């Protein structure tokens, strides 16, 4: 599966960005898709995930209420709408996939449960 993340940029605190992750795979019904981020000097961390089959979502605590993950089955694209951005959201954002082989597997926050493909997209939030 090839993934292409886009939509990053420079924005002031309180602003919004929408990231997009276009995927090469045609059928994602048994996949989870996730967004992760990595700030300089820090480890890659989970941000949000979505179960493709039913749209179930999972978020890291500090983005709840600000970020929304969604998917478009026609375009094979996952989005991350980011509102009320903070300087601490500054990072390189990556999308990733997890093939589960099932419609019922619980979403995961573990980086090692996902596979990463393609370049990330830089998000910089100025104060």
Q: How far apart are CA 76 and CA 22, in angstroms?
A: 6
Residue 101: its pLDDT value, please? Answer: 85
- CB-based contact 106:54 (threshold 8 Å): no
Q: How far apart are CA 121 and CA 92, in angstroms?
A: 6
β-strands 9-12, 121-126: how paired? parallel
Residue 10: its pLDDT value, please? Answer: 98
Residue 24: its pLDDT value, please? Answer: 85
Taking the CA atoms of residue 6, residue 10, residue 16 and residue 17 in that order, the dihedral angle to the nearest 10 degrees is 0
Q: How far apart are CA 6 and CA 74, in angstroms?
A: 18
Per-residue pLDDT 10s for the chain (127 aa) are 899 999 999 999 999 999 999 998 777 788 999 999 999 999 999 999 999 999 999 999 999 999 999 999 999 999 999 999 999 999 999 999 999 888 889 999 999 999 998 899 999 999 9
Contacts of 93 (CB under 8 A, 6+ apart): 5, 8, 19, 35, 36, 37, 47, 80, 120, 121, 122, 123
Tokens of 70: 């969604």
């Amino acid at each position: 599966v090839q993934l292409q993340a886009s939509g990053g940029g420079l924005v002031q605190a309180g602003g919004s960005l929408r990231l997009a992750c276009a995927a090469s795979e045609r059928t994602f019904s048994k996949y989870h898709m996730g967004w992760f981020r990595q700030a300089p000097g820090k480890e890659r961390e989970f941000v949000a995930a979505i179960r493709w089959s039913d749209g179930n979502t999972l978020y890291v605590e500090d983005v709840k209420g600000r970020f929304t993950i969604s998917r478009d089955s026609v375009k094979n694209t996952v989005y991350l709408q980011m509102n009320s951005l903070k300087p601490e959201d500054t990072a390189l954002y990556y999308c990733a996939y997890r093939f589960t082989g099932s419609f019922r597997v619980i979403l995961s926050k573990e980086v090692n449960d996902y596979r990463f493909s393609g370049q990330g997209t830089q998000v910089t939030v100025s104060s």
